[in-house]
Amino acid sequence: MKDITIVICSYNYERFLREAIDSALAQEPDRTHVVVIDDGSTDGSRAIIESYGDRIASVMKENGGQASAYNLGLELADTEYILYLDSDDVLYEGAIARVLDAFESGQYAKVQFRLSVIDGESVRTGAHVPNSTPPAGCGQLLRRGWLYPSPPASGNVYRVSALRRILPLPKAKGRGIAADFFAIYGIALLGDVMAIDEELGGYRVHGPKPESKQGTDRQVGLSIANCQDVNEVVNAFPHRWAALRQLVNERLGEELPERGLDFSYEKAHLCMRVYNAPLWKRWKWVLFESGQYFRSIVANPFWSVRKKISAIALTFACLVPLRRISDLAVLYIANPLARQAHARRS
């Protein structure tokens, strides 16, 4: 029988760590091995880990970043499959059973599933990631430059033999951050990806609490990612893509396009250019700088025609003279939480 290792990568998330470990231990007990790697936490995380005794395997290491934790987790795994669970995320009941069934239905390199977006109190916001389902042939689309829709780290389960062709990640500049990026996309070049359109876990958003206005829902920002605003997305993506190209070339002998295509990256550009900007700057963007953005919509292989039309209509709503309407349109495009807030008010 083919088992799974859940590697919980822990760093200074004392508040959420116990919930993450408990959610992993609640999965198929006869088939699930739980390993917690603490990457040099300075809060109370290590005491929490030690309280589980031999129910889990644990490693206490010096801080080396996410890539070092990924590398070590893969080295320790002696099972057929592996999942990297962030220590502020959770798995829902039955998640691993569902994933193992999916793996056993075909020769997949990766099985992914949707994650509910939850808040700091583990309450579901109503949003989920990813918002689209990838079609068959993710690897071929990646070879054309398209990043396929994928959940964050905690929603991806890998076949260990395939992942070992991508990892371990070298200790090089630009690869120590967002190590999951290389696993998530590199794996698609090594086999088929199976997508489960069910929310089998929770992706926690717990950044600084935004201010609220009387009589309205809590205001939401432009990005749902933790500790990552649109500027970071715009600055990080080209470096991550370049590093992925180099890694794929070195490990697999393949050449990816020089430039990657991803709507998340292009919408971050949109936010930087038009959010809270004067009208003339908005129209300057659409007339002279929006080519790649509209390409990421019109040529998007993951979206229906209806979704493409809706995205284009919302984009032009960002250009109306009324600032309040245009900024709301930007928020709606940028952040699923904004759509949920709008739905609650409607």
Q: Residue 188 in contact with residue 163, Cβ under 8 Å? A: no
SS3 assignment for 59-102: EEECCCCHHHHHHHHHHHCCCCEEEEEECCCEECCCHHHHHHHH
Residue with tokens 């930007």: 330
Q: Residue 343 in contact with residue 332, Cβ under 8 Å? A: no
Nearest of 181, 186, 1, 195 to residue 80 by alpha carbon = 1
At residue 136, the pLDDT reads 82
**Spans in the chain with pLDDT lower than 50:** 174-176, 208-219, 227, 342, 346
At residue 216, the pLDDT reads 37
At residue 157, the pLDDT reads 98
Q: What is the pLDDT of residues 106-142, one digit of tens each?
A: 999 999 999 999 988 999 988 899 988 888 889 999 9
How far is the C-alpha of 194 from the C-alpha of 112, rounded, in Å? 6
Buried-exposed string 141-154: b where 16+ CB fall within 10 A, e elsewhere:
bbbeebbbbbbbbb
At residue 174, the pLDDT reads 46
At residue 215, the pLDDT reads 35
Q: Which domains does the chain have, with CATH numbers?
A: 4-204 (3.90.550.10), 230-345 (no CATH)
At residue 327, the pLDDT reads 82
Q: What is the pLDDT of residues 210-252, one digit of tens each?
A: 433 333 344 456 655 554 566 667 778 888 899 999 999 999 9
Q: Treating both helix axes as pointing N-terminal to C-terminal, what angle do 291-298 and 263-274 enclose, rounded to 10 degrees?
A: 140
